[in-house]
Amino acid sequence: MNDTALRWPSPTALLRAAAVVLVAWLLLESVAALAHDISQADRAAVARIEGPAPGAFLYLGAKHMVTGIDHILFLIGVIFFLYKLRDVVIYVTMFTIGHSLTLLGGVLLDTGANSYIVDAIIGFSVVYKAFENLGGFRKLGIAINTKLAVLGFGLFHGLGLATKVRDLGLSDDGLLVNLISFNVGVELGQVVVLTVVVTLFNLWRSTRTFASGAFYANLALMAGGFLLMGYQLTGYFTS
């Protein structure tokens, strides 16, 4: 196993990596298309909502998390090498604190950043996490407090969520209730995503392919992050 790590990957490993990339790609495409279409309808629905509607916003928050490929990729990166439930809880809590701060603050204080730039940084957070998982920073001799990094990128994920909420066009009537419902929905959606991802990782980790596959899976994550960055930066420069 150690030998293969230093040589070119075997054809089967390459094939496996290609399959991972392809699946990630298809997932990205279909989810992005789906999320886009639904959000159009949601916007129209939200435009009709006046006053507190906790149920509706709870659902919308959960949906944005479950259909948001950028958040999902980041979460996959975060829990990739977390074997203990306690660690999962700690890291996810850091992420939650980060994104809740900027989600609530961003909407309530009415401060916005360019959504393309924020989404590009979210894409970068995926690249960062994949590079860290590859051991890149250790190799380069850079010490990073990974918990603080998750908190920091969480702030940007929250800014992205805040932009989505503002795009939905919340009315001032019942804003706080709706916003908090959205935030709670985001956390519920996160639990749904994590349940699936952690279960799949536990299944995968127990197999022999995990050690060799982890490298390629993180490369696929990184490619996904780069793709999101390119997509958003192009949007920024063409709009």
Partner 1 sequence: MTETDPTAPAPPSRKKLLLGTGAALAIAAVGLVVFVLPAEYGIDPTGAGAALGLTQLADGEKENIYLKRGQARTNVLFPLEASGEQDRVVVNEVFAEKGVTLPVGAQLEPDRFQIELLPYEGIELKYVLDKGAPMWFSWYADGPVNVDMHSHPFDGGTEATESFVIADLRNQSAVYVAPFSGIHGWYWQNRTMQPVKLTLDAVGMMTGSKIFDQGGEHDRPLSPPPAEGAAEGAASGA
Site residues for partner 1 per CB under 8 A: 5-6, 21, 25, 29, 47-48, 50, 81-84, 87, 110, 127, 130-131, 134-136, 138-139, 146-147, 166, 169-172, 211, 214-215, 219-220, 222-227, 229-231, 234-235, 238
**Helix residue ranges, H only, 109-135:** 115-133
Residue 69 C-beta: closest distance to partner 1, Å: 12
Residue 58 contacts residue 110 (beta carbons within 8 Å)? no
Q: Which is nearer to partner 1, 189 or 224 (CB)?
A: 224
Residue 226 C-beta: closest distance to partner 1, Å: 3
Q: Which is nearer to partner 1, 110 or 207 (CB)?
A: 110
Q: Which is nearer to partner 1, 54 or 112 (CB)?
A: 112
Q: Which is nearer to partner 1, 55 or 169 (CB)?
A: 169
| Angle between helix 146-168 and 54-66 (nearest 10) | 130
Question: Which residues lie below 8 Å from residue 171, measured CB to CB, with a gap of 6+?
Answer: 49, 50, 51
Residue 188 C-beta: closest distance to partner 1, Å: 25
Q: With the CA atoms of 193, 165, 118 and 100 taken in that order, what torsion angle do they form, in degrees rounded to the nearest 10?
A: -60
Residue 54 C-beta: closest distance to partner 1, Å: 19
Residue 25 C-beta: closest distance to partner 1, Å: 6
Q: Which is nearer to partner 1, 161 or 189 (CB)?
A: 161
Question: Which residues lie below 8 Å from residue 69, measured CB to CB, with a gap of 6+?
Answer: 27, 28, 31, 32, 35, 224, 228
| C-alpha–C-alpha distance, residues 173 and 134, integer Å | 47
